[in-house]
Amino acid sequence: MERIAMVAGELSGDVLGAGLIQALKRRHAGLRVEGIGGPAMRAAGLRSLYPLEALSIMGLVEVLRHLPRLIVLRQRLVRHFRDHPPDVFIGIDSPDFNLGLERRLRTHGVPTVHYVSPSVWAWRRGRIKRIAQSVDLMLTLLPFEPAYYRAQGVPVVFVGHPTADCYGLDPDAARFRACLGLSAERPVLALLPGSRQGEVAHIGPIFAKTMVRLVRQRPDLQLVAAMAASELRRLFQRQLKAVGLTYCRLIEGNAKAVMGAADVVLTASGTATLEAMFLQRPMVVAYRLSPVTAGVVAALRLIKTRYFALPNLLADEALVPEYIQGEATPQNLAQAVDNLLADPQRVSYLQQRFRQLHGTLRCNANERAADALEQLVNP
């Protein structure tokens, strides 16, 4: 393997891509990698042809607004990799962009892999037929996903979740509190309002109002928020100012410590729910799409699952409270957080279950993904 291509569309995919690049470079020292990625992939050796932010768009309506630019970008990538074919192309998440790119590259003879299964088990299950036309191999992070692909004859390998490999099974909350200078005597609420502009715009004001309610009930509550980027920190600061909340600490680039220090985590749905689970932190999960996007999803009955929080999906059990759209209100979220703060027996049960679920995803994922790529390229 001499040259590969990768495209990631958001920060979580950037981390996955970086781990895979490092695993492959341990086997192929001179490996060249190009495509689209963020700081982690670039640090691992990716030559990024376009910035990651070009693809970081959330929601059906938001994608439509940027569609002409995305089409042009995809056409440029197709031409580039058609004229300079890699040994394999790996699309990391961002399925609405990457699957179309993979399908076109596959027609030009480039082997294609999609890393991170789209949520076909939750919504738009008909996508599997399109996926079968687009990929030579699907790499999944969750153990229940391969069955959906095997039923449709799509080659698939479960590799586990790379983030699970980065966390020990016995997290030390006291150490994280000391790292952040938080009191060991007072309860801590961690907030993660999302890693994309659209997420923070929709859920951030709800989280801010939730905190106002909670500090009225619990004046000793310590508030700390993990921010994925500087522009998101500035946006959340404005949202906090709008409700008169001045003493929530905003910490950029250290979500692990923020969550690890918490008694309860209040988070937008997504990868952060898994990280909170790996840290054995009880959590409340919320999500809000734009009203138009939510209306389209509801009208077309696109969602086919009981749960949307990843710990609940893994457990097939309502372990963590989850609230979506109109249910994600400050009143509901504050009550759910307060219930967890007041119930150490429930917290103990959650920590035990989270440890079990962590073990199912701890599979040395980067190396397993690299093994699968080797088998595809050199069968």
Residues of the chain with confidence (pLDDT) below 50: 59-61, 292-303
Q: What are phi and psi of 85, to 5 degrees?
A: -65, 130
pLDDT at position 199 is 87
Q: Is 54 exposed, middle or buried (0-12, 13-18, 19+ CB in 10 A)?
A: middle
Query: Same fold for the domain at 3-160+363-377 and the one at 173-361?
Result: yes
pLDDT at position 96 is 84
Written as six digits, the tokens of 204 are 């951030």
Cα–Cα distance, 24 to 374 (Å, whole number): 9
pLDDT at position 136 is 97
Domain 3-160+363-377 class in CATH:
alpha beta
- 285: helix, strand or coil: strand
pTM to 2 decimals?
Answer: 0.81
- 367: helix, strand or coil: helix
What is the residue whose two structure tokens read 């696109």?
Answer: 302
**Helices within the chain (DSSP H only):** 11-27, 39-44, 60-83, 95-107, 127-134, 146-150, 162-165, 173-180, 197-217, 230-242, 255-260, 271-278, 291-299, 310-315, 330-341, 344-361, 365-377
pLDDT at position 269 is 86
pLDDT at position 94 is 87
We find that the CATH architecture of domain 173-361 is 3-Layer(aba) Sandwich (3.40)
pLDDT at position 289 is 66
Written as six digits, the tokens of 269 are 């749905």
pLDDT at position 297 is 40
pLDDT at position 291 is 54
Domain positions in the chain are 3-160+363-377, 173-361
Q: Is 251 exposed, middle or buried (0-12, 13-18, 19+ CB in 10 A)?
A: middle
pLDDT at position 66 is 61
Angle between helices 271-278 and 344-361 (to 10 degrees): 110
